[in-house]
Structure 1
C-alpha cells in the first residue's frame, strides 16, 4: 500500500530540484539554489518550500513518504574537480604503470598531437606498490602472495596519510583469494581506511579497465560515504520510515549502504534518470524513439532511446578515466543557462563550458555575477519575464543583463546588444546540436525519427530552435520539465548489475553446466539482496547479457540473452544474434568462424509502483483567458523585434492551439514557440509542439 507521497531530489550544479508525487497522481515541483558545500542545506531549504505549500511540518511530509530518492553530482563533481581522497594501489608486480600506459590509448581527436598532455593520475607513482604472487587464467595459483610486501606498502601508505586503498591483481576475476587476503591485511593494519578490490568492483576480464575502475571507486567512495551518511542522518532525524534511495548511473535505485562502497556507480547519478522519464512522457503518444535534452544551469545532458531501450555504456573513458561498470549513455556538454559568454583573444565569441553556477550565477540574478551568461542573453531577447522570480528567491534584473552583454560581448565585437544576445543564443544552440548529432547521427540513428523531449529549466527557451536544426518535427515538454530528472527518479525501479567473467568457446556442443551455474549464482545474490530490501518475488525482474567475440579478436560485442536454462537451442539463437550485432557494428560478420564468450552480466530489478498519470480535463477556457500580455522578442539576427503573446501555462486549457511566435510561462521554466510551430497542452500534463511549416 503506497503512502501519501513520493519525493525525488536531484542536486544539480545550480539548482536542487524537488518533485513531490502524491498518490492521486498530482505532481508538485520546487527548486532551491544548490549548496555544494553541504547538500543537506539545499534539501532543507527545498523541504521548507514544500512544507509551506502544503501547510504541514517537514517531519510529517517525510514520514508520509514511501520513497525519498536522491540523485547527486557529488561523485561527479569530486572527479571533475579532483577533490577525491588520497589513494594507494596494490597491484601485481610489473603492472604498476598500466594505468599510466593506458593500453597506449589516446583520446579521439588528439591521437596525432604529440604535445597533448597525459591524463592526471589519481594514484601517483610512489603510491603504486607491486606485490608478488600470481594466479593463472584458469584460476590456479602460480606463486603465493607476498604478505611482507603488503606490510611494507602499508607502512608507506601510513606515512603518506593514504585514506583509501585499491587492490587489483592479475586474474583475480578467476580466483580472488589473493585480493581478499590483501584486503583483510590492510583492514587489520589500517583500521578506518577504505579498501576495495577489483574482483568486487568490476569482476570482469580486462586488467587495465578493472584497475582503473577500482582506483576511481577508491578515490570517490569516502567522499560519497560522507555525503550519504549526512543525507541519511538528516532524513532519519525527520522520522523517515524508509531508507533514502540513491540514483545510480545504470538507471536504477540503490540504498545508501550499497552506494557508500560503490561510488563509481553514482558518477552519472543525476542525468541517468532522464531516459526513464522520457519514455514515461512519450508512451501516451505511442512514441518509442526519444532524445532527451536536459539544459540546466551548468550543463546540457543528452540521452537517446531507440525502441524503448536506452543503451548502457561499459568500458568507456569518462573524464579521461576508464570506467568498466554499466552506465546510461549520457553526452554531457558545458552548455547551460549559466554558461559564461566572452570574446577570446582572437576576437571570437565563446559560450561555455565555464559556468557561473549557483554562486555568483548569471548577472541578472544580482548575486555578484559580472560576466554575461546564456540566461542573461535570453532575458535581453525577451524570452524571460523581467519580473520573474526563479527558484522562489531570485528576481531577474534585465538592465544588468543588458549592460553585461554590451560591455563583454557587443562592444568588443562592435555590434548591437541585440545581435550580441542573438549570437550567444545561436552559438549555444549549435553547441547543443553538435552533442545531439554525436548520440544520433554518429551512432547510426537519424534524429528525424525521434521525438525531442525537453528537460531542464533552461531548455524550453531553446527547444524549438534545436528541433529545427536536427529536423525533428515533434517536441514534448512535460509540465515537470524543469525538474525532469527528479521526476524520473520517482518512477524508476531498484536495479543492481552483477558481473562475472566466464571465458569459453560457445557452440551447441559446449559444456553449458558451468555457465548456467554462474548465472544462477549471480541471480541468487541479486534476488537475496532485493528480498532483503523488501521486494516480493513477483516484483523482481531479470535480464541477462553476454559479451562475445570471434576467436582472436580483441573487442567484444554485447548480446542480450533470455532468462532460464541455457540449452543448445539457446546457444544457436545467441550465436545468430551475435553475428547480426557484429554486422550492425562493424558492417561484416563471419558465421563460419568460432566464437568465444568472455563476460556475463545479470541485471536484477525490483519493480516500484509508479504514480498514476493525472489526466487533465478541459475547463472551457479560451486563449484570451491564458494570455497575460505581450513582449517584444527577437527571433532572428537582423534585429526584427516582434510583439509576441505571453501565455500563462497554469491558465492554458487542454486542447487549445497556440501558434508561434509565443511564449508559455510555467512557474519554473519558459517555453519559446518559434514562428512555424504550434503548441498544444495534452491531457497528460504535457505540451506537444509540432512543426507546421
Structure 2
C-alpha cells in the first residue's frame, strides 16, 4: 500500500486528504494554528492514525507524494508582517514603487480620498546605484560597485533582513544586476536576496521591481515556515521531500519555494481547478466554475473547455506581481464573515471575519459577533448540536443571541429574518464575484457547471446557482477538502521566462526565438532531473506575450509545444488575433504584431489516481436522519425539512429539495426546486427542476 497526502492550511481549518493505491480517499479537518502550522498538522495526523489504525510514521513511510499548501505568504502580505526589506535600484528609479505607473485600482480611479498603498520598502531603504543599461543591452554607465557596498552598510545598520535588486533593462543585459547581488551576498551573508532577473526575467521595470520586492519581503517568512514543516515531516517518518503548492497551479520543491516565495501567495485556491477537472470530466463537463467558501474567504476560478486561465501582471492586495498565477477572484466572504450594521442602518456582511479565533459565536470559543455560520445555524441548515461529524460541538442559542443583539434588535426584525438577511447579502456578494470571472470576461455562466469546494460552500451553492442562472451544481463528497485533493492530482510546475522584444515583420529572427525556447526548456528539464524526475515524465508548454505595435498591454498566446519558425508563425499570429478578439471584442488582422516576452511551462507529470466507485444505493428515504424546521425565503416561514445522512446514501440515490444532506465535513442545502443525485464517482449532481 502506498499513499499520497495533501495538506491545505487555510485561515480557519487545515484540510488533509489521504489517497491510497487502491483508490480509497480519506478526508480530515483540523482547526488551523497560524502561530505554528505544525500543531494543526499534528492534530490531523492523530485523526488519520486513529481512523486507519496505523501509526502515522508507518503511513508517512509509505507515502510517495506529500504536498503542502499554505496561506503563510498570503497572511504575511495581508497583515504586513513580512521582514524589513531594502531595495537596490538604478539611480533615479527609487520611487517607481510609489508612482506605480500612475495606476489606481478599479473603482477608486477618481477617488482622491482613497489612501495610497503601503509601500513594502521604506523610502530611506530604497538606495540608488549609479549604473545604466540601454534597451539594446549596451552599457551606458558602468556599475558603481562602491554604491552597492554603501547600500549594504546602510542595510546592516538598519537591520534589514531581505534585499531586492532590480535595475533598469536588466532583461537586456543582466551583468550589473547579478554583480550587485553577488556583492550583497558577500557583505550580508545572512540576508535573503531577491534578484529581479531571477524572479521575473521579463520586460516592465515596475512590475519586475515590485515582484522582486514582494519576493524579498516574504522570503524569510516562507523559509522559516518550510524549514519547520520539513523538519516536522521528517521527524514523523516521511521518506520523500515535502512539496509545496504554488499560485501557478503546480507543485514546487522546498528550494524553489523559498527562492520564489512570491509564488506562494495564492497557494491554496490555485489547486481547485485541477480537482474540479477530476470531478467534472467523468460527468461530461468541460466548462465549470469552482467556488470555495471557507471560514475567511470565497475563492472563484473559471475553467473553459478544460483550460483554466493563468494571468501575469496581477495587482494582488495592491501589489503588482508579474509571475504567473491561476486567475482567482477572492472575496472577504466566508463562514466567519461578520454581519454588521453601518452608520446608515444598513446590514452588511464582511469583509471582517471572526476566523478560527475566536470564530463564530456558535463555536463557543469566545466569539460574540454574528457570522454567516451563525446565520446558517439560525436558519436550521446546520446541525444545532455539532459539526465535523460530532467533533466540533456548537451552541445554537449563542448564534441566535449574537444575531439578536447585533442585527435583529437594531433593525427591529425577528432573528429569523435577520439571519436570512445575512444569508442573502453574503450570497449576493458571492454572485457578484462569479459575474466578474464569467460575464465580465465574455463567458455566459449558464454554459458552466458550478462546483462546490470548501466546508461552507454547499450551504449556499444552490442558492448561488439559482441567482446566476446555472442549472447544474456538482458537490463532491470531498468538497470541504477539494483544494487539498487537487494538490495530490497536480504536476510539478515551473515557469521559465525571457524577454524577447521583436516585431514580426520580414526582419524577424524567428530562429533566435526558437533557440531561446530550447534553452529555457533545457534549463527546466535539468531542474526537474535534479529533483529525481525522469525525462519521460517531463512536458513543456510554450506561450508568447504578443501585442499590436503601439499597444501598451499584451496577450499571452498558448502555442503548445510547436516550434517557432516560418512554417508556424502564421498560425501563431492567427491565434493571437482570435485571443485579442475574445478578450477585447475586436482584432486588427492588417496591423503589425510584436513579441514582448516568451515563456515555457515545465511540467513534471504526476500519475492519475485510480478512482473508487460507490456501491449502488438502496432507498434514499432510509438515510433520513431527522427533520427540523428550516427557512428558505425572506418571509422567514419555517418548513419541516428532511435531513439525510450522507454516509448512508449510495450511487443513484435521488433526493428532492428542500432538503439537507449532512456529510462528515460539509452540509449540502438542496433548495426548493432542485434535485440531488449521488453519482458513482462520489459526487452529488444537483439540478434545477422545471
- Alpha-carbon deviations, 1:224-251, whole Å to 9, x = none? 0000000011111122111001000000
Q: Tell me, yes or no, if structure 1 residue 328 matches structure 2 residue 326.
A: yes
Instruction: Give 3-state SS (helix, strand or coil) of 1:476's partner.
Output: strand
Match of 1:358 in 2: 356
What is the distance in 1 between the residues matched to 2:461 and 2:237? 41
What is the distance in 2 between the residues matched to 1:77 and 1:61? 31
| Contact 2:441–2:583 (Cα < 8 Å) also in 1 | no
Instruction: Give 3-state SS (helix, strand or coil) of 1:137's partner.
Output: coil
* Equivalent residues in 2 for 1:91-110, closer than 5 Å: 91-110=89-108
Instruction: Give 3-state SS (helix, strand or coil) of 2:613's partner.
Output: coil
Alpha-carbon offset, residue 538 of structure 1: 1.9
Match of 1:375 in 2: 373
Match of 2:119 in 1: 121
Residue segments in structure 2 that go unaligned for 5+ positions in a row: none
- Alpha-carbon deviations, 1:287-324, whole Å to 9, x = none? 00000000011110000000001001101110000000
What is the distance in 2 between the residues matched to 1:552 and 1:294? 40
Alpha-carbon offset, residue 202 of structure 1: 0.2
Q: Tell me, yes or no, if structure 1 residue 48 matches structure 2 residue 46.
A: yes
| Contact 1:659–1:679 (Cα < 8 Å) also in 2 | yes
Residue segments in structure 1 that go unaligned for 5+ positions in a row: none
Match of 1:624 in 2: 621
Shift in alpha-carbon separation, 1:5–1:562, aligned structure 2, 3 A: closer
610, 630, 633: which is aligned to 2:630?
633
- Alpha-carbon deviations, 1:77-112, whole Å to 9, x = none? 000000000010000010001111011111111111
* Equivalent residues in 2 for 1:231-310, closer than 5 Å: 231-310=229-308
| Contact 1:508–1:571 (Cα < 8 Å) also in 2 | no
Moved more, 277-286 or 527-536: 527-536
Moved more, 337-346 or 470-479: 337-346
| Contact 1:339–1:354 (Cα < 8 Å) also in 2 | yes
Alpha-carbon offset, residue 186 of structure 1: 0.8
* Equivalent residues in 2 for 1:297-446, closer than 5 Å: 297-390=295-388, 393-446=391-444
| Contact 1:658–1:679 (Cα < 8 Å) also in 2 | yes
What is the distance in 1 between the residues matched to 2:389 and 2:144? 58
- Alpha-carbon deviations, 1:105-144, whole Å to 9, x = none? 1111111111211110001110001101111112121111
What is the distance in 2 between the residues matched to 1:302 and 1:582? 24
Match of 1:481 in 2: 479
* Equivalent residues in 2 for 1:639-658, closer than 5 Å: 639-658=636-655
What is the distance in 1 between the residues matched to 2:564 and 2:554? 20
What is the distance in 2 between the residues matched to 1:539 and 1:392? 43
Match of 2:662 in 1: 665
* Equivalent residues in 2 for 1:117-196, closer than 5 Å: 117-196=115-194
- Alpha-carbon deviations, 1:483-538, whole Å to 9, x = none? 01001001111111101001111246522221111101100011111122222222
220, 234, 256: which is aligned to 1:222?
220
Q: Tell me, yes or no, if structure 1 residue 556 matches structure 2 residue 554.
A: yes
Relative to the length of structure 2, the TM-score reads 0.99
Match of 2:612 in 1: 614
What is the distance in 2 between the residues matched to 1:656 and 1:65? 34
Relative to the length of structure 1, the TM-score reads 0.98
What is the distance in 2 between the residues matched to 1:472 and 1:270? 25
Alpha-carbon offset, residue 155 of structure 1: 1.2
Alpha-carbon offset, residue 670 of structure 1: 0.5
| Contact 2:185–2:191 (Cα < 8 Å) also in 1 | yes
Instruction: Give 3-state SS (helix, strand or coil) of 1:130's partner.
Output: strand
| Contact 1:508–1:572 (Cα < 8 Å) also in 2 | no
What is the distance in 2 between the residues matched to 1:452 and 1:526? 35
What is the distance in 1 between the residues matched to 2:567 and 2:389? 58
Q: Tell me, yes or no, if structure 1 residue 204 matches structure 2 residue 202.
A: yes
Alpha-carbon offset, residue 561 of structure 1: 1.8
Match of 1:87 in 2: 85
Consecutive aligned runs of 4 or more in structure 1 exceeding 6 Å deviation:
none
Alpha-carbon offset, residue 585 of structure 1: 2.2
What is the distance in 1 between the residues matched to 2:385 and 2:228? 37
| Contact 1:31–1:392 (Cα < 8 Å) also in 2 | no
Match of 2:672 in 1: 675
Alpha-carbon offset, residue 578 of structure 1: 1.4
Q: Tell me, yes or no, if structure 1 residue 453 matches structure 2 residue 473.
A: no
Instruction: Give 3-state SS (helix, strand or coil) of 1:45's partner.
Output: helix
* Equivalent residues in 2 for 1:506-525, closer than 5 Å: 506-507=504-505, 510-525=508-523
**Alignment length, in residue pairs?**
690
| Contact 1:32–1:391 (Cα < 8 Å) also in 2 | no
Alpha-carbon offset, residue 565 of structure 1: 3.1
Shift in alpha-carbon separation, 1:392–1:88, aligned structure 2, 3 A: farther
| Contact 1:99–1:208 (Cα < 8 Å) also in 2 | yes
| Contact 1:245–1:253 (Cα < 8 Å) also in 2 | yes
| Contact 2:511–2:565 (Cα < 8 Å) also in 1 | no
- Alpha-carbon deviations, 1:564-598, whole Å to 9, x = none? 43221211111111122222222332222222111
What is the distance in 1 between the residues matched to 2:170 and 2:57? 47
Instruction: Give 3-state SS (helix, strand or coil) of 2:54's partner.
Output: coil
Moved more, 205-214 or 3-12: 3-12
| Contact 1:362–1:376 (Cα < 8 Å) also in 2 | yes
Match of 2:580 in 1: 582
CA RMSD of aligned residues (A): 1.1
